[in-house]
Structures are given as C-alpha cells and as structure tokens.
Amino acid sequence: MADDSPSTPGPPPAGTGDLSARSGRQARPARAPGAYLRLPIWQRFLLASVIAVVLLVAMVIYVDHNNTNSNPSLNEAAEVRANREAETLVRQDQAPHTARAAAHLSAAAAIGQAIRGWMQAQVSAGAIDGPLKAARCRATGTSNGRTAFGCTITAGGVSYPFLGVVEPSARGVTYCKRDPPPTPSDRVPVSPRCRL
C-alpha cells in the first residue's frame, strides 16, 4: 500500500553535487566589501601601483615648474645686481679719511689716534658696537718720506683692519678701512691714497 502523505525533500542523492557543479560552472567567491572591480588581488595591486607612480610623476613635474629657483636668468640678474651694490658699499666704506697729526706724536701713534677717533665716532653713532680698544699699527714700508701702516682696532669683539699712510713733513694722516670682499673672487681695491 502506497503512502499518500506528502514527502519532505531529503538530502540530495549521493554523487549529484550542487547545482553549480552539475551545470559545469565554478562558484565565484563572494566579492569583498568595497571591491568595485572584479579583478584578482594581484591586478588590483598592480593598478594601485600604476596610479601611485602617475601621481608621483605629476607632483614632480608640478614642483619643477613652480619652483622659484627654476628661472636662473632672473636669479643671476638679481645676484649680479646684489654684487654690484655690495661692491659700491665696500668702496664707500673703504673711502680714504684724512686727519691732522700732532707734531709731538710718532707716525704710528698719529695714525693709531686718527683711526681710534674715527671708530669712536662710529660707535657713538651706533654704526659699530663698542667697547673700543686701542689701535695696533705696524709700519709696512716707507717711500719719499711717507710711511705706510697696517693697523687693527677691536670694537665689540670684532677686529677691523685699516691701511694708512703718514706723511710727517705735512703732518697728514690718510687711512682706509679694509673690508672683506663681497665675494671671495671679487676684491675691491683700497684707494692708492692709503697705500704706497
């Protein structure tokens, strides 16, 4: 006698497998959340690397074109102008100064006193920091009754070199402050009046 009760589906018969296996297709793994492209992980990595390289190259090009040092002609012109202005300032600072020497002073004392007087005026005007020390001068040569000197005076811990000439017969002292050159290769000569 046959059972008329409805039958419940049971497990599939052995060896039949699931539907995808029966149809010959492989089941795709579920896509990861946020994955917009159906690409294997190595292709995603490769794509991300290419995008990073393109962005890096674009950034380098942008910085290169917007760098302030990228226009050497403007910088060279500004540098030449600045060097010219520095040379002018050095020439002005090295301009000859004259003083009258007292009859009772030696040539070295006369030039030392003249330099110290000029430097004291610079300290008083605030152009140079004090305190001021005595000038040290040594003779570097003589010619036609004139004596050349190289002097150094210290003010505010900085040594300032001077060149000068003393002419005892005229009781005249001529001296020039010696500044370092604006650029090592560009020496601004001291006036011939301060040299023999």
pLDDT, tens digit (0-9, with 9 covering 90-100), for 59-105:
998 888 777 664 555 577 788 788 888 888 888 889 999 999 888 88
pLDDT of residue 139: 95
The mean per-residue pLDDT over the stretch 18-43 comes to 65
Q: Is residue 38 part of a domain?
A: no
Using alpha carbons, select from 129, 131, 134, 130 the residue that is nearest to residue 112.
134
Total structural domains within the chain: 1
Domain extent, residue 187, equals 78-194
Q: Is residue 91 part of a domain?
A: yes
Question: 131 preceded by cis ω (within 30°)?
Answer: yes
Q: Is residue 51 part of a domain?
A: no
Q: Please say if the pLDDT value at position 58 is more than 90.
A: yes
Q: Is residue 131 part of a domain?
A: yes
Q: Please say if the pLDDT value at position 28 is more than 90.
A: no
What are the backbone dihedrals phi and psi of residue 10, each rounded to the nearest 5 degrees, phi first?
-105, -170
pLDDT digits (tens, 9 = 90+) for 156-167: 999 999 999 999
What are the backbone dihedrals phi and psi of residue 136, each rounded to the nearest 5 degrees, phi first?
-110, 120
Mean pLDDT for the chain overall: 82
Q: Is residue 8 part of a domain?
A: no
pLDDT of residue 175: 95
Lowest mean pLDDT among 22-31, 43-52, 174-183: 22-31
pLDDT of residue 7: 54
Q: Please say if the pLDDT value at position 35 is more than 80.
A: no
In the chain, the percentage of residues whose pLDDT exceeds 70 is 77
In the chain, the percentage of residues whose pLDDT exceeds 90 is 40
Q: Is residue 123 part of a domain?
A: yes
pLDDT of residue 89: 86
The residue behind tokens 């002097």 is: 151
Q: Are 115 and 164 in contact (CB under 8 A)?
A: yes
Q: Please say if the pLDDT value at position 14 is more than 60.
A: no
Q: Is residue 124 part of a domain?
A: yes
pLDDT of residue 4: 55
Task: Count each helix (H run) and each strand (E run) in the chain, helices first.
Answer: 4, 5
The mean per-residue pLDDT over the stretch 177-185 comes to 80
Q: Are 142 and 148 in contact (CB under 8 A)?
A: yes
Q: Is residue 12 part of a domain?
A: no
